[in-house]
Structures are given as structure tokens and as C-alpha cells.
Amino acid sequence: MDYRVVWPRSRDKFVEYLAGLVAGDGQLERKRITITDANREFLEEVSHYIQKYLGITSYIHKRSNVNAYYLRLYSTSFVRTLQQVERQLYEKPTINYIRGFFDAEGGVYVESYGQKKYIVIEITSGDPIVLANIQSALYDRCIYAYTRRVEYVDRRPGRGRRYMIYRLRVKRRSSVARFLVKVGLRHPKHMKSILNFFQGPAPLPVSPQG
């Protein structure tokens, strides 16, 4: 089973990717955009492409008292642009929007069935509509997924709140294989999971359709 390291290769495609990333794990304010992630290396890569395609300098800082970092960029005009793109792609996600959302809210897991182990792709969100739209877009690319509702309990001291989250899962082997090539990987945590499963194959070159 192959996989590709796929980063968008034009400004428009990167903006679509960024819209998905921010929708999954970011914040849009009037003058700035913030993206939070536990992996600084990943945010540095995102920052590189922001500079390359948008010509905007972004800054990465460690969050206090939390094992996470945040990337922040300032541009009132680009905030408006990204808001428009995000509204459009929410209903009809492109492959680059899905890539961004997956990097923010997705995971690569290994599940066992008897003596065999299988890769499972998962995307989690509190919004069932965006997952339904992503599921439909994946289906159009012959990637078959299903979504299930899961009750989550916040077990932190003094919390105990219960709420519903939704998980889109890709389990069929052929669909997982297509996902790994068409959506591809960029986040170190996802590549680490795949490398551990395959015991260290080299990634394929960046897709020319990125």
C-alpha cells in the first residue's frame, strides 16, 4: 500500500487547503488567523507555504501551560478572502479542503481483527454536516466511508460534560489505499503512524496533482 506526501502546488489550491485546516483547528478573527497544533514542525511547514503562496509572514508561539503551539498571521483582506472560500467549500469540499480538514481533525490508526492488522482513516468533528459533505466528496473519488455518532465525556476535573462528536471512518482496504494517495499525508503524526505500520517505507514523490 503506497502513500504520497502531498502539499498544494498553487496559490488557489493552498487557499482551499488553508480553509479546511482553519475550519478544523483554527480561528478566524477580524484581522488575524490562528491555527493550533501540537506539532511545531507541521506549523513551520504551513508557515513556509503561507509565505510562498500568500506573501504573508506568520509567527509561531508556544501556548502557555499547554503542550501545543499556535501559528498566527495578520491580514484583514486575507481573512475576508478565507471566510468566503470557507463558506463555499463547506458545502462542496474540494480535495485540498479535505486535506486541510484531515490534517486538523484526522487520524491514522491501526486496528486488529484476529491475527491481522488494518489501517483505518478517521476524521472527527462536532459538525455532522461538514463530515457528510466530506463523505460525499470522497465517494465521488471512489473512497468509501461511513460516519458514526459517539458520546464524549469530558473527564477533566470539575468538568464531566457530555456531548456528541461524529467520526468519519475509512476502513475498506481499497478505499484506504486511495485515500493515502489522493488525499495524501503531510502531518508528521500521520506519517509516523504509517511508517510504524509499514516498518519504514520511503514516501512517494509529491503528487503532480497536489
Q: How far is CA 193 from CA 11, 45, 189, in A?
A: 29, 19, 6
Q: Name the residue among 175, 191, 19 with its Cα closest to residue 95.
A: 19
pLDDT grade for 111, boundaries at 50, 70 and 90? confident
Q: CA 124, CA 186: separation in Å to the nearest integer? A: 18
* pLDDT exceeds 80 at position 86: yes
pLDDT over threshold 60, residue 204: no
**pLDDT at position 201, please?**
47
Question: In the chain, how many H helices and how many E strands?
Answer: 7, 8
Question: What is the C-alpha to C-alpha distance for residues 19 and 93, in angstroms, rounded to an integer?
Answer: 10
Q: Which residue has the higher pLDDT, 203 or 87?
A: 87
Given this model, what pLDDT does residue 199 score?
67
Q: For 188-200, what is each residue's pLDDT tens digit?
A: 999 888 888 776 4
pLDDT at 193: 86
User: For the chain, how are helix, strand and coil distributed in percent, rounded to 5?
Assistant: 45, 30, 30
What are the DSSP E strand ranges found in the chain?
Answer: 26-28, 32-37, 58-62, 69-74, 106-113, 116-125, 146-153, 162-170
Name the percent of the chain lying above pLDDT 70: 91
pLDDT of 208: 38
pLDDT computed for residue 74 by the predictor: 97
Q: Quote the pLDDT of residue 159.
A: 67
Is residue 6's pLDDT more than 90? no
> What per-residue confidence (pLDDT) applies to 100?
97
Torsion sign, CA atoms 84, 181, 174, 165: negative
Average pLDDT rounded to a whole number, residues 152-166:
77
What structural domains does the chain harbor? 11-91 (3.10.28.10), 97-198 (3.10.28.10)
pLDDT tens digits for range 11-69: 999 999 999 999 999 999 999 999 999 999 999 999 999 999 999 999 999 988 888 99
**CB distance 21 to 106 below 8 Å:** no
Provide the percentage of residues in the chain whose pLDDT is more than 90: 72
* Rg for the chain, CA atoms, rounded: 17
